């Protein structure tokens, strides 16, 4: 991606471990995080706060998420209807993201 798309300025990874791997690869290519590319993960694992740079991440409470998903699924089965659901999450801003560039 870095070679074929040098215009990329931000990457959102599906989890924090993938984001940490992306940061390592970005650095191997001589780019800086967040000055050249911002990186965001998902999970807010403990290591994300102490990674270099500390990782911006989307935090989700697994227990609350599971309860919400079960409740929504149960309601869909009970009523025979499906719906669109929004699961609450929190953005934890740390140093792996920079300012928006125009």
The rounded percent of the chain whose pLDDT value lies above 70 is: 98
CATH number for 35 = 3.40.50.2300
Q: pLDDT digits over 24-42, tens only?
A: 999 999 999 999 999 999 9
Percent of the chain clearing pLDDT 90 (strictly above): 72
Q: Is residue 84 part of a domain?
A: no
Please report the pLDDT score of residue 68 as a whole number: 87
Report pLDDT for 102.
Answer: 66
Specify the number of domains making up the chain: 1
pLDDT value for 3: 87
Q: Is residue 99 part of a domain?
A: no
Q: Is residue 96 part of a domain?
A: no
Tell me the residue range of the domain where 30 lies: 10-61
Within a domain: residue 83?
no
Residue matched to tokens 């609350």: 64
Q: Do 82 and 73 meet the contact criterion of CB atoms below 8 Å apart?
A: no
Sign of the CA dihedral with 71 first, then 74, 75, and 81 last: positive
For residue 73 the two structure tokens come to 């699924």
Look at residue 28 and tell me if it is in a domain: yes
Q: Which DSSP string do the residues of 20-81 spell out, in sequence order?
A: HHHHHHHHHTT--TTTT-EEEEEE--THHHHSSSPPEEEE--HHHHHHHHHHHHHHHHHHS-
Does 2 map to a domain?
A: no
- In the DSSP assignment, the letter for residue 84 is -
Residue 32 and residue 74 in contact, taking contact as beta carbons nearer than 8 Å: no
In a domain, 66, yes or no: no
Question: Is 35 within the bounds of a domain?
Answer: yes
pLDDT band at 88 (very low <50, low <70, confident <90, very high): confident
């Amino acid at each position: 991606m870095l070679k074929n798309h040098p215009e990329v300025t931000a990457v959102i990874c599906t989890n924090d471990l993938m984001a940490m791997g992306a940061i390592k690869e970005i650095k191997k290519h001589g780019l800086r995080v967040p000055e050249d590319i911002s990186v965001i993960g998902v999970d807010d694992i403990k290591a994300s706060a102490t990674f270099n740079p500390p990782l911006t991440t989307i935090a989700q409470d697994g227990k609350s998420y599971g309860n919400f998903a079960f409740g929504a699924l149960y309601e869909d089965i009970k009523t025979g209807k499906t719906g669109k659901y929004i699961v609450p999450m929190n953005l934890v801003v740390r140093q792996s993201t920079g300012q928006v560039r125009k």
